[in-house]
Amino acid sequence: MTTVSQQNLTELQELAPKRIYLPTANVLKKGDDNSRYYGALNFPFKETVQTIFEKDTGLNLFDNNSDIYNQTSVWYSIKNQDEFDKIEKWIDAQGTTVFIRSLLPSCIALDVNVDYANEVKTKIGDLEYKAKNNQNQDAIDDLVDLLCSKIQLNQEEYYLAAVPANKDKGFDLPTLLVAKIAEKLGCRDITDHFQYQNSKQALKSVGIGDKWQELERANLQFEQHILDNKPIILIDDKYQSGTTLHYVASKLNEAEFNTVYGLVIVKTIKEMITNKPIKIEQDNPLYPQNIANFFKKPLSLSVLGNINLLKNNAVGFCGSRKVSDKGISASHNCVNVLTHKHNNVVIVSGNANGVDLEVHYMALKQGANTILVLPEGINHFKIKRKLQAVWDWERALVISQFDDNANWQVWQAMTRNNLILSLSKAMVVVEAGEKGGTKAAADSAIKHNTPLFVIDYQHNPAGNELLKNQTAQLIRKNKNTGEANTANLESVVF
């Protein structure tokens, strides 16, 4: 097991994806007639899932060195129909299990908490809610049975422990569940060996970077005397950032309990992420209503990634493919200022080299959100090399208004600009020529009353100077800080 520490957890939390949810993950594929393999199984990371898969199936996964987009992925080359059927049966048997990327050798949830596609709680999410908030006995009993079914798959001797609560807390669902599970399975509950020496603040109100420090301040103590060194299964009701569960595991490591597993009822998700293209039509609540101001007919949108980004306030950026060094610096500066002040803002641009690429890069590098709008069908999308190191599907959305297999065409690139505008509260021009796509996008913004901003340099490109003399508002550097003054832009977006 990787050492559980704040530093290692911080590094882990920066990786993506953070979970594998097999009901929506497209991990198993059959090869086509020209393939060297009968089929392939691909997991985007090895943590948790590799241990469980190999133990259950007897098949060994290998590092996927050919996946340049995700160098932590693992795969298996399927040799025949029997192996394919065996893997398919294993996937079906997992049901709604969530495999969580963790520092522990295994960390799973029974399900996610919400089915965002249908805007309802999942069945297990509903049980967790009723058990925790209403102390519903039927829900509690059902959760005990479900958790027992997972624990019984573990053939080792083990202890059980609830992730500890404040000593003055009244009803605590994990503590109750562990007591009932231990009684039912005839194993030992060691939850009472933990105790916070100081009152622990509710971590919901604490920023993710400060959660570990708050737990350290609460000073959790673990009494390990009279305990044999057996594996410990930590049980909690929800896995959010994973900080609390990993902090408790670190205390067990300090007491020389090195095998610690995580088992939670639900993995909370705030975002709706699709790992394969889906359609958003006009009747979908996420369909951008501003499209009607730019297009005569409704669009059929193909999307890939975090669909909930369509709900956020967004700022569009456009500019030259052959952007100058000063343009790169200005675009980075502007995105940096916006995303530091407003961490939920979405940066929207095309998928070309130049300004488009630079603003996506800076948004993702700063941990912010971005939407890439394609001038071709979504099946042509590939993550550009510069974005690979910062890419995170939880903070990115790829969108196309064209047929999924449509090739790039000039008119599509021009039409695509109106989709960028329809997704954005305002448009920022970084560098524009007297003619061309950037100037056309700016003209369309003016025509459709989208607030238009242009970066004002000491020596402006021709298009910037033209727009400066029209209705565009200017973005200039603050003389004292050297940063972009985005106050006027923020006033129309937020």
Q: What is the CATH number of the domain that holds 242?
A: 3.40.50
Pair 141, 133: CB distance under 8 Å: no
Pair 422, 294: CB distance under 8 Å: yes
| More confident site: 290 or 70 | 290
* Lowest pLDDT segment from 178-182, 200-204, 391-395: 200-204
Predicted local confidence at residue 136, as pLDDT: 97
pLDDT at residue 67 is higher than 60: no
* Lowest pLDDT segment from 23-27, 135-139, 409-413, 447-451: 23-27
Same domain, yes or no: 247 and 288: no
Give me the DSSP letters along 414-425.
HHHHHHHHHH-S
| Residue 174: domain span | 6-15+96-267
Pair 101, 12: CB distance under 8 Å: yes
User: Last residue of a domain, which of 225, 246, 267?
Assistant: 267
Q: What is the mean pLDDT of residues 68-74?
A: 62
| More confident site: 278 or 270 | 278
Same domain, yes or no: 249 and 289: no
Give the tens place of pLDDT for each residue, 142-160: 999 999 999 976 667 899 9
Predicted local confidence at residue 69, as pLDDT: 39
Give CA–CA dist 260/250, Å, rounded.
9
- CA-based nearest residue to 322, from 353, 361, 359, 357: 353
Amino acid at 178: V
Give the tens place of pLDDT for each residue, 47-62: 999 999 999 999 999 9
pLDDT at residue 68 is higher than 50: no
DSSP 449: T
Q: What is the mean pLDDT of residues 233-248?
A: 95
Q: 376 in a domain, yes or no?
A: yes
pLDDT at residue 175 is higher than 80: yes
pLDDT at residue 412 is higher than 90: yes
Same domain, yes or no: 199 and 188: yes
> What is the pLDDT confidence band of residue 274, given thresholds at 50, 70 and 90?
confident
Query: Domain of 400: which CATH number?
Result: 3.40.50.450
Same domain, yes or no: 120 and 65: no
Q: 488 in a domain, yes or no?
A: yes
Pair 307, 274: CB distance under 8 Å: yes
Predicted local confidence at residue 205, as pLDDT: 62
- CA-based nearest residue to 233, from 71, 353, 108: 108
Same domain, yes or no: 164 and 49: no
Same domain, yes or no: 261 and 277: no
Percent of the chain with pLDDT over 90: 69
- CA-based nearest residue to 11, from 340, 242, 336: 242
For the chain, the average pLDDT equals 90
Same domain, yes or no: 89 and 162: no
DSSP 350: -
Q: What's the total number of domains in the chain?
A: 3
Predicted local confidence at residue 380, as pLDDT: 96
Q: 49 in a domain, yes or no?
A: yes
User: Last residue of a domain, which of 214, 246, 267?
Assistant: 267
Give CA–CA dist 53/64, Å, rounded.
16
Q: 348 in a domain, yes or no?
A: yes
Q: What is the mean pLDDT of residues 239-245?
A: 93
Same domain, yes or no: 41 and 109: no
Same domain, yes or no: 199 and 130: yes
- Residue recorded with tokens 């495999």: 99
Same domain, yes or no: 310 and 437: yes
Same domain, yes or no: 254 and 171: yes
> What is the pLDDT confidence band of residue 391, given thresholds at 50, 70 and 90?
confident
Predicted local confidence at residue 180, as pLDDT: 98
Global pTM? 0.62
pLDDT at residue 15 is higher than 80: no
- SS3 sequence of the chain: CCCCCHHHHHHHHCCCCCEEECCCCCCEEECCCCCCCCEEEEECCCCCHHHHHHHHHCCCCEECCCCCCCCCCEEEEECCHHHHHHHHHHHHHHCCCEEECCCCCCEEEEEECEECCCCEECHHHHHHHHHHHCCCHHHHHHHHHHHHHHHCCCCCCCEEEECCCCCCCCCCHHHHHHHHHHHHHCCEECHHHEEECCCCCCHHHCCHHHHHHHHHHHCEEECCCCCCCCCEEEEEEEECCCHHHHHHHHHHHHCCCCCEEEEEEEECCCCCEEEEEEEECCCCCCCCHHHHHCCCCCCCEEEEEEHHHHHCCEEEEECCCCCCHHHHHHHHHHHHHHHHHCCCCEEEECCCCCHHHHHHHHHHHCCCEEEEECCCCHHHCCCCHHHHCCCCHHHEEEEECCCCCCCCCHHHHHHHHHHHHHHCCEEEECCCCCCCHHHHHHHHHHHCCCCEEEECCCCCCHHHHHHHCCCCEEECECCCCCCECCHHHHHHHC
Same domain, yes or no: 81 and 187: no
Q: 344 in a domain, yes or no?
A: yes
Pair 86, 100: CB distance under 8 Å: no
pLDDT at residue 488 is higher than 80: yes
Q: 1 in a domain, yes or no?
A: no
Give the tens place of pLDDT for each residue, 456-479: 999 999 999 999 988 899 999 988
User: Last residue of a domain, which of 67, 94, 121?
Assistant: 94
Give the tens place of pLDDT for each residue, 28-47: 888 777 777 899 898 888 99
Give the tens place of pLDDT for each residue, 87-145: 999 999 999 999 999 999 999 999 999 875 555 789 999 999 999 999 999 999 999 99
Predicted local confidence at residue 361, as pLDDT: 94
